[in-house]
Structure 1
Amino acid sequence: MLDIRPVVHLIGLLGLALGVLMLVPAAVDWQAGNANWHAFARTSFVVCMIGGLAALTTRNGLDAGLGRRQSFLLTASLWAVLPALGAVPFALGAPNANLTNAYFEAMSGMTTTGTTVFVGLDDLPPGVLIWRSMLQWLGGLGIVIVALVFLPVLRVGGMQHFQAEAFDTMGKVLPRVYDISAGLLQVYFGLTFAAIAAYMAFGMSGFDAVNHAMTTIATGGFSTSDQSFVKFTGPLEYVSVLFMVLAGLPFIRFIQLLGGSWAAVWKDVQVRAFLRWIGYSVGAVIAYRLMTSDAHVLDVLRGTLFNVVTLFTGTGYGSDDVAAWGDFPLLVVILVGFIGACTASTGCSLKIFRYLVLFEAIRAQMQRLRRPNEVVALRLGGKRLQPDVISSVIVMFTVFVASFILLAVSLSLTGLELRTAITAAWTAICNVGPVFGQEVGETGAVDGFPVAAKWLMIFGMYLGRLEILAVLVLLLPRFWRG
């Protein structure tokens, strides 16, 4: 029988922490003289009580440690329970959302998807805007820890390839998970503060800079305005591109940089492929736009760079109508959304690593067809790929594509037009952000979607953020039997 006490205990502690953090937007609204601070204060008290009681009643739950099955359950439960708690202020205060919209917004935040159902962001209380950004920032930090600590150990989707590397910094071993977590916090906070300073230096207000720094480093894409990044076009787009790219790199490499291993980043085959593929996609779209548009060259260069990178990393900001560029640019951004950033970053989707493994497996298979008797060793970045890594990556691709198709078909059955259904499935399961279609509002919000479509997208965001297999394994009866 599966002992769920360790899971409940840890969720209770994290719920308690989330409740305490709600005092931050409460303070922001109170300082601004907005009565909405009452909603955050009440919710903070209730969530702290629920989390505290859950932790207290299961305080002996960690005596036997956290096993593999509990780790699966914990990972899957956190991204279902914490968004539910984080959604309460949206329902009790501004914007007075219903259950579906409040949970949708919180799930979109914590999974760092960035799709919104809220309209009139410019008029919302500042505390609500800060809370949306905080949810994304916390979700981004959480998924990096899960990617580096839980998923490699649990052998999900090929990420076991990084199990040893997560604890090996170019010869210097980090002996405890605590050291990895402490290093991640240093990097995450450092990048966030650097982004705040850079945004302010190039003209953002302090409030906008804090919000956008959190959602940039989390590659989440929530903005403080219905116009997203349109009001910040110019040099700020280049600043954002820099930090989105940094957030899309493996965070373990930054820890190595702090340890003095300057060559760690460039030696990573993922990093090189990530930067190279960004260059290919941006270059292709720029060439197309220059041939088909009479816009100023510098505007084309800046706008294309920003909007392609934001979708490649899964951030989802928008400074232009990408769909208006033409069918080819739209196809490119859809494809890069399916690729995603590096493993162990805050980025989304299938990740660069899995594509590199898939391409290596295809190359080896083609080589075997030419020379059937030759033994082909599969390697990535000088490291031999184990058979279980290759098989799990292939399974991940299969399940991902099947889930996307099933989600798109289900969304179309709710009444959404085909293009809307396809891009809604894409943005949900890839955790990208924007949806393209006639049912999407002028601000990019999906508030007009049917309730069923919103819940399907919620499930898609949840599946995509947790690498799908980490959720589907809970459906196996033998998981619960042990």
Structure 2
Amino acid sequence: MFHIRPIALVVGTMLTTLGLAMILPILLDLAADNHDWQAFFASAALTLFVGIALIFVGREPEGNGRTELNIRDAFLLTTASWVVMAVFAALPFILADIELNYTDAFFEAMSGLTTTGSTVISGLDRMPPGILMWRALLQWLGGIGIIVTAVAVLPMLQIGGMQLFRAESSDASEKLLPRAAQIATVIGSLYMLLSVVCALAYYLAGMTAFEAVAHAMTTIATGGFSTSDSSIAYFDSAAIDTIAIIFMIIG
């Protein structure tokens, strides 16, 4: 039998994080006077509502103690995390004025979260900033990996996270990470630091601040999404190419 409560709690926490991430595209579209901010606002509201609801549903009654996930729970949580995140991450693509049906929107969202890099969107050079940043954010969030998310979030929620790590890594050892939460925190901090340094390097090499941040997110995640149909070739810069190579290797 599956332990539904802890699974709902973790998925709800991830959805809440996803909903909060939509605030950045909202602000960018508002600053650009683009009405797509409404699409992100509606998507964020729905995502946050479902995420918070799942958190409340998944909370264990006081005094029940720690919940240990088994292998079946781990596989269900892994699958549910990817699918549910992509379902809600696709909402802005559907509601915005870029004429994507849900299949294409889901593909774009899943490609971003898994840092696959495939895209069904063309005309990126004319896209509003919110959509471009959302694509970059999806790859950046996905790039740090569900494993790090799990080992960081599950211990804080008093849920055993080692089974999920084993499900993702296919390693049968009993103690893969002796201090999982601490290691996840270090990885997350390094990921953030590298993203900032990469963005600064891109900016100094000639990108605008917006382009630098968006490309830094996708470079560190080794995802490949860009703000232009020509991708990094749009800039025609050896310095930018070199920065991309260095930070893709580091990332």
Q: Settle same-fold status: TM greater than 0.5.
A: yes
Which residue of 2 is the match for residue 153 of structure 1? 166
Classify the secondary structure of the residue corresponding to 1:115: coil
Which residue of 1 is the match for residue 216 of structure 2? 213
Q: Offset of 1:228 from its aligned partner?
A: 0.9
From 181, 191, 195, the equivalent of 2:198 is: 195
Q: Is the 8 A contact 1:139 1:218 kept in 2?
A: yes
Length, aligned pairs only = 237
Q: Offset of 1:240 from its aligned partner?
A: 0.6
Provide the C-alpha distance between the structure 1 equivalents of 2:53 and 2:165, rounded to a whole number of angstroms: 32
* 1:13 equivalenced with 2:17 (yes/no): no
Q: Is the 8 A contact 1:26 1:37 kept in 2?
A: yes
Provide the C-alpha distance between the structure 2 equivalents of 1:19 and 1:184, rounded to a whole number of angstroms: 23
Matches within 5 A, 1:39-118: 39-60=39-60, 63-118=66-121
Q: Is the 8 A contact 2:69 2:163 kept in 1?
A: no
From 233, 238, 246, the equivalent of 1:242 is: 246
Deviations 1:303-351 (A, max 9, x none): xxxxxxxxxxxxxxxxxxxxxxxxxxxxxxxxxxxxxxxxxxxxxxxxx
Q: Offset of 1:100 from its aligned partner?
A: 0.6
TM-score (norm 1): 0.47
Classify the secondary structure of the residue corresponding to 1:66: coil
Which residue of 1 is the match for residue 179 of structure 2? 176
CA 1:154–1:102 in structure 2 vs 1: closer, same or farther (change >3 Å)?
closer
CA 1:193–1:155 in structure 2 vs 1: closer, same or farther (change >3 Å)?
closer
Deviations 1:374-419 (A, max 9, x none): xxxxxxxxxxxxxxxxxxxxxxxxxxxxxxxxxxxxxxxxxxxxxx
Provide the C-alpha distance between the structure 2 equivalents of 1:17 and 1:146, rounded to a whole number of angstroms: 11
From 120, 123, 130, the equivalent of 2:123 is: 120
Q: Per chain length, whose mean CA-contact separation is higher, i.e. which structure has more relative contact order (CA < 8 Å, sep 6+)?
A: 2
Provide the C-alpha distance between the structure 1 equivalents of 2:147 and 2:229, rounded to a whole number of angstroms: 28
Deviations 1:119-152 (A, max 9, x none): 1111111000000000000001124516986565
Q: Offset of 1:40 from its aligned partner?
A: 0.4
Which residue of 1 is the match for residue 28 of structure 2? 28
AA aligned opposite 2:219: T
Q: Is the 8 A contact 1:137 1:214 kept in 2?
A: yes
RMSD, aligned α-carbons: 2.1
AA aligned opposite 2:191: Y
Q: Is the 8 A contact 1:151 1:160 kept in 2?
A: no
Deviations 1:272-293 (A, max 9, x none): xxxxxxxxxxxxxxxxxxxxxx
Q: Offset of 1:60 from its aligned partner?
A: 1.4
Provide the C-alpha distance between the structure 2 equivalents of 1:240 and 1:147, rounded to a whole number of angstroms: 28
Provide the C-alpha distance between the structure 2 equivalents of 1:155 and 1:32, rounded to a whole number of angstroms: 40
Matches within 5 A, 1:292-371: none
Q: Is the 8 A contact 2:70 2:163 kept in 1?
A: no
Q: Offset of 1:69 from its aligned partner?
A: 2.4
Q: Offset of 1:96 from its aligned partner?
A: 3.1
CA 1:57–1:138 in structure 2 vs 1: closer, same or farther (change >3 Å)?
same
Provide the C-alpha distance between the structure 1 equivalents of 2:221 and 2:164, rounded to a whole number of angstroms: 19
CA 1:214–1:70 in structure 2 vs 1: closer, same or farther (change >3 Å)?
same
Provide the C-alpha distance between the structure 2 equivalents of 1:10 and 1:110, rounded to a whole number of angstroms: 17
Q: Is the 8 A contact 1:121 1:226 kept in 2?
A: yes
Deviations 1:38-72 (A, max 9, x none): 11011111111111112112211884233332222
Matches within 5 A, 1:453-472: none
AA aligned opposite 2:239: P
Classify the secondary structure of the residue corresponding to 2:90: helix
Larger displacement relative to structure 2 (62-71 or 39-48):
62-71
Which 5+ residue runs of structure 2 have no aligned equivalent? 152-161
Of all paired residues, the percent bearing the same amino acid is 40
Q: Is the 8 A contact 1:199 1:236 kept in 2?
A: yes
Q: Is the 8 A contact 2:196 2:216 kept in 1?
A: yes
Provide the C-alpha distance between the structure 2 equivalents of 1:47 and 1:145, rounded to a whole number of angstroms: 22
Which 5+ residue runs of structure 1 have no aligned equivalent? 168-174, 248-482
CA 1:35–1:155 in structure 2 vs 1: closer, same or farther (change >3 Å)?
closer
AA aligned opposite 2:196: F
AA aligned opposite 1:71: A
* Larger Cα-atom Rg: 1
Provide the C-alpha distance between the structure 2 equivalents of 1:57 and 1:50, rounded to a whole number of angstroms: 10
